[in-house]
Structure 1
């Protein structure tokens, strides 16, 4: 019978940016923790799993794989055989199971500010041997922070949790015995630190963000990780734009374009060009801004939209590019095009993406206002508060609503509807 490639396992490795050798190491580490004896899984073993040559690993390897990945063995694409064809329910999670850690982390992170940092391992509980399983666990925590950001937006508790993650990654790096794991841990420390910076940017608290990004860029260099380097330059461009330093925003976006991550990935290239277009638009280089926007669209057209993205880039796709297009067209004085792009963004965004929908709605309201449709604009602007009902409004969104209010006052100073909108929503958009 022909061998069948194990696509679920291959997809897991790609999503977690792991090599076959790293998975073998992680499985052996899990076996060591289970039995006090090192496992013998090799890179060749993993390749046999991936090719379908071995479709049902040994018992200890199966258990270790579930511990490492947090998935059941069948969800990983393996097929039971013989007496194992009736697979019993998954065993109770091992104390080191990443899924247990993930649930504990999310629960703490959504609680008090003091509790956010608790889930990271304490010094006394760290394993004596630092390896790939630690990398996987910390990467899960990065993903948890991204999920928390999607729910709450940027806030200081998220910043502290991210910095705690960076601190643990660096502490483990000092104990690691292999250069490969050391570089991974430096990359994770960079990712955590950049996440802390993003939290402050989104919260509108910009003073600490620059320091975090300086540190994240240093760590990305030590990791020799072009993807992390790209992430930092992307955030640097966003920070500079919020500060009104448009030359720096363009320069940071161009630095992102120079990374090898952009050269090998059309999605990375699209984001870098889109970020440059915003800076150029604000710098009043309108033709250059539209050219960059065109390059962003061309690059996305070449991308495989079904391919997994790094966690930090999970926000980027056609809907986000439509939103950026709306921003650029609003800035360069093309409100009709901005309105059309905003509608495309809202059509492409899932209902669950509340913050993204709220941001796109602000851009839509601005575009309508700049076309003189005051009544429609104030109605659209009010929808932001309905979308965000029950959730805090991040500082960056409050700033955008403040810009909309200033446009209202400037473009329709005597309109009754404008004053009614301001009186109704002033408290809601200005309250942290």
Structure 2
């Protein structure tokens, strides 16, 4: 929790050395995977640690940090002893059932907020849905810090009204006192919801998450409607967080084939950015709008949206963001069949990417590394009909991709299969298709199913070949969904 008494953690800052917060966060996530942990670490979390806002990490982060720096203690890392920073447990409402917790890790409560009679709202475990998550804890086992924020997020005033209307428990709306202000806990909870959605999407795809993710988005907009933030900085963070949450939910709609819903969410984020005067949020909204327009066949709009995003981002000191927007523009030109402008935009994207990461890179861009650069260039060449060239870039994307990002790995392999099928390499296409099918028990993404279905259509004339027939038969037996429509 943030505190006016926060003391910068200089020891932890020294351990980061020359790495940017984003690069160090990526190293933390890699270390977590090495020991079987899962943490939603990003540049903002590292910044909060270094600023002294997190005086002691939760148990998952503790295990990861001690794994990264063997021989050191939490004190050596600049943290305080756990017993000095942990408070008493939250008290349930009278007569309320205990909160179901799938992991018996103790949780703490935040410092009292400036609202009358603070209320702890019990949050039930997620209702089972027809997803293919390999571990239910991916949804319900949130770290101590995240769980505290989640409880604060659903506490008091309009948030409890939203919770009740969404079936998340809590007192009736009329019995809940309105807060005098929205503070750090609520804003941090909005930001944490964005991170959690991105983490789950990286691992599992969008199909099983979209409906669930709409709930925190509604609660975030209830906070905006309340208009009770007393500090300008808090209000700005709330607008940015709500806008990023709109984009995250919009992406889940986009990736699961709900294009109209996605368009609405992206437009909502753009409006929030314009009201708040937030160029970073505006650039992000335009970036996703361009991507959606290309997928919807509106290639001229894709070009215009990408160019608008580049204008919004020109003063943000993030070459990587400008690189991604140049790639979005290149995709639009490729869809229009304009090879000259496409190649020019691709060249600009590569030059900007080669400038390297920056501390100013938005945290949502953690997915954008060399694998994504290769994959997006592959899509441009595919749109122009250069299938062999597209396959080379798609192959590089699959080789470079961190296996932790399961959805992207499956997508890149599906794109590779399609490119190889068009390029006249049916056996190799079938082999790549099998690799995609191997991942479909972990990932639910209509985009991936649609791409795989496109590969099947191209391979059908080659079905007499044994390897192709084996893939087609296996694909048919899985009965994957085709493109749900645009």
Does TM, scored on the shorter chain, surpass 0.5? yes
Matched, 1:209 2:204: no
Root-mean-square deviation (CA), in Å?
A: 3.9
* Cα 1:168–1:246 shift into 2, 3 Å: same
Structure-to-structure mapping, 1:26-425, within 5 angstroms:
65-66=55-56, 79=78, 91=86, 93-96=107-110, 108=125, 111=128, 120-121=153-154, 122-123=159-160, 124=176, 128-155=180-207, 156-171=210-225, 174-260=227-313, 263-304=316-357, 307=359, 309-388=361-440, 390-409=441-460, 412=462, 418=468, 421-425=471-475
Structure number with greater CO (CA < 8 Å, separation at least 6) is 2
Deviation at 1:358, TM superposition (A): 0.9
Deviation at 1:317, TM superposition (A): 1.1
* Cα 1:304–1:151 shift into 2, 3 Å: closer
Contact 1:246–1:279 (8 Å) recurs in 2: yes
* Cα 1:392–1:319 shift into 2, 3 Å: closer
Matched, 1:15 2:68: no
More helix by share: 1
**Rounded Cα–Cα distance in structure 2 between residues aligned with 1:63 and 1:76:** 15
**Rounded Cα–Cα distance in structure 2 between residues aligned with 1:226 and 1:18:** 23
Contact 1:162–1:195 (8 Å) recurs in 2: no
**Rounded Cα–Cα distance in structure 1 between residues aligned with 2:223 and 2:364:** 17
* Cα 1:346–1:67 shift into 2, 3 Å: closer
* Cα 1:296–1:17 shift into 2, 3 Å: farther
Contact 2:407–2:443 (8 Å) recurs in 1: no
Deviation at 1:371, TM superposition (A): 2.4
TM-score, reference length from structure 1: 0.74
Instruction: Summarize deviations over 1:223-253 as a string: whole Å, max 9, x none.
Output: 2111111111111112111211111111111
Aligned residues: 374
**Rounded Cα–Cα distance in structure 1 between residues aligned with 2:453 and 2:394:** 19
Instruction: Summarize deviations over 1:390-425 as a string: whole Å, max 9, x none.
Output: 22431111121222223324x748766555533431
**Rounded Cα–Cα distance in structure 1 between residues aligned with 2:449 and 2:379:** 16
**Rounded Cα–Cα distance in structure 1 between residues aligned with 2:250 and 2:295:** 13
* Cα 1:87–1:247 shift into 2, 3 Å: closer
Secondary structure, in 3 states, of the residue corresponding to 2:230? coil
**Rounded Cα–Cα distance in structure 1 between residues aligned with 2:192 and 2:245:** 11
**Rounded Cα–Cα distance in structure 2 between residues aligned with 1:269 and 1:137:** 29
Q: Report what 1:429 is aligned to.
A: 480
Contact 2:395–2:416 (8 Å) recurs in 1: yes
Instruction: Summarize deviations over 1:175-221 as a string: whole Å, max 9, x none.
Output: 11122211211111111111111111000111211111221111111
Contact 2:411–2:448 (8 Å) recurs in 1: yes
* Cα 1:171–1:387 shift into 2, 3 Å: same
Instruction: Summarize deviations over 1:24-45 as a string: whole Å, max 9, x none.
Output: xxxxxxxxxxxxxxxxxxxxxx
Unaligned runs of 5+ in 2: 1-7, 26-41, 66-72, 88-106, 112-121, 131-138, 141-149, 161-175
